[in-house]
Chain A
């Protein structure tokens, strides 16, 4: 079955440490996204990428970095500069439907819950 795989499901980080969250999709989607979900705040966009080797900052990019070396993969690194990294992180993907002239609705992974030790 096609889908989005996020790993690990739970991740613990020590103060001052960088950690990388994995997101892989086999949907052949061009665009991929990282969101952060906090209670009462909905989902906020961290970074997105519409094509390989290109990515754009979202609304809350500070303290995060990404890469998009392959179409299938969009890893997110939470750096030590992110002062409040404890959150639920969601990866999503979509593609543009030429016939309809619009993007498909985004598909989401199961998420990674990051906690600070």
Chain B
């Protein structure tokens, strides 16, 4: 079945460490790609998105992601994490033209130790 996979379920890092969260999808054709973040007790917020153009996209709070079409991947990165980055991160793909129906990955829980 077509899907979105986030391979890391729980990642634990120390402050100032570099972060990379993996996201792979199995849809062909044109896709729109998103990373959302859910801080404890808060609603989902958009971190960044890719629709077209430069495959390296920059988002809020120092996050960036790279779309590699040949690998069907859209990995999220941050060079130096902070304790406040502790949250759950969701990759989402819209593979449908004419409608926005997001397919979400399972989520990655990120814990940053001070």
Q: Which A residues are within 8 Å of any B CB, using their own CB? A: 31, 33, 35, 40-45, 48, 50, 58, 90, 92, 94, 100, 102-103, 105-106, 108-111
Contact = CB atoms under 8 A, between A and B. Distances in A.
B9 A40 contact: yes
Closest 8 CB pairs of A and B: A103-B100, A42-B104, A108-B44, A43-B104, A42-B106, A105-B46, A110-B43, A108-B43
Contact of B49 (A33, A42, A105): A105
**Range of interface residues on B (Cβ < 8 Å):** 20 to 34
Nearest to A59: B103
B99 A50 contact: yes
Contact of A42 (B51, B94, B100, B105): B105
Interface in B34-53: 34, 36, 42-46, 49, 51
Nearest to A48: B101
Contact of A102 (B32, B43, B90): B32
14 contacts: A31-B99, A40-B9, A43-B90, A43-B92, A43-B102, A43-B104, A90-B43, A92-B44, A100-B51, A105-B34, A105-B46, A105-B49, A108-B43, A109-B43
Nearest to B106: A42
A100 B94 CA distance: 16
A106 B45 CA distance: 9
Contacts of B102: 33, 43, 45, 106
Interface majority SS (helix, strand, loop, mixed), chain A: strand
Most buried by B among A43, A44, A102: A43
Interface string B80-114: 00000000001010100001111111110000000
A106 B100 contact: yes
Contacts of A106: 100, 102
Contact of A45 (B4, B101, B106): B101
B45 to A, nearest CB: 8
